[in-house]
Amino acid sequence: MTEQGINVFFVRHGQTYFNLMGRFQGWSDIDLTEKGIADGKAAGIRLAGVHFKAAFSSDLPRAYNTARFVLNANQADSPALPTAEKDFREIFFGSAEGLTIQQIVAEYDHGFDKTMQAEAVGYGDTIAKFGFDGLMDLFKKNDPLHLAEDSAEFNQRLTHGLNMIRETFKAGDNVLVVTHGSLMRALANKFQSAELASHKLDNGAISKLIFEPKKDGRVTIAAWNDTEKIW
């Protein structure tokens, strides 16, 4: 695939209090910290010169508010406000929300083998151990209320959102999407490698993906987890 495609700039939301505490937040409504507000503003400054044909965010407040900070800094005649889109919200971790990975490993003993108690020092380690989709399926299996999204449920809505972009915009258009860390890991897993998906993304980091403008078209990762470049 050439560079002639839809340029989609994905931004991870700013730091939240659960990020600071190392807790899974999923669909939980957790406020941005002062650093999180600064993360959004810094991403906005680095994207200030990019004209966005459209701007989307997850419908969760931490992403929507980050998107507002990004667009407030824009100087290239972009939308004033983001469009909230449920397809781009974080994975739902169900009963695991609010827990640390160490608590999850200790409490969810069906499928998470005991060696993970020592090895799972972070989320990326569990992805490396089980694979991204496999880990999501374990969250679903171990949730006593069976609320967590499994890989099929999550990938269905993610694909729907990605195809909306592919079918709405044309080659050369720039599109902003402010979203979440696990959703970004899912993109890495889908379009590059499980190894890339095991690495943490920084709050406020910018990743550029180039989409072929047709349903289920190819995707190229042009930049990933960038915290320095002025675009």
Binding-site residue ranges for substrate = 12-19, 62
Helix, strand, coil percentages, rounded to 5, for the chain: 45, 15, 40
Provide the annotated binding site.
12-19, 62
Q: What count of residues does the chain have?
A: 231
90 is catalytic: yes
Strand 54-57 versus strand 6-12 pairing type: unpaired
Give me the catalytic one of 90, 97, 149, 180.
90
Rounded distance between C-alpha atoms, residue 125 and residue 135, angstroms: 11
Rounded distance between C-alpha atoms, residue 192 and residue 125, angstroms: 18
Query: Which H/E stretch holds residue 222?
Result: strand 219-226
Rounded distance between C-alpha atoms, residue 62 and residue 116, angstroms: 30
Give the bridge partners for 178, in sequence order: 11, 57
Q: Which amino acid does the sequence have at 65? A: N
How many other C-beta atoms lie within 10 A of the C-beta of residue 117? 12
Nearest to 202 by CA among 15, 8, 9: 15
Sign, CA dihedral 5-41-179-225, equals positive
119 is catalytic: no
Nearest to 158 by CA among 219, 96, 81: 219
Catalytic residues: 13, 90
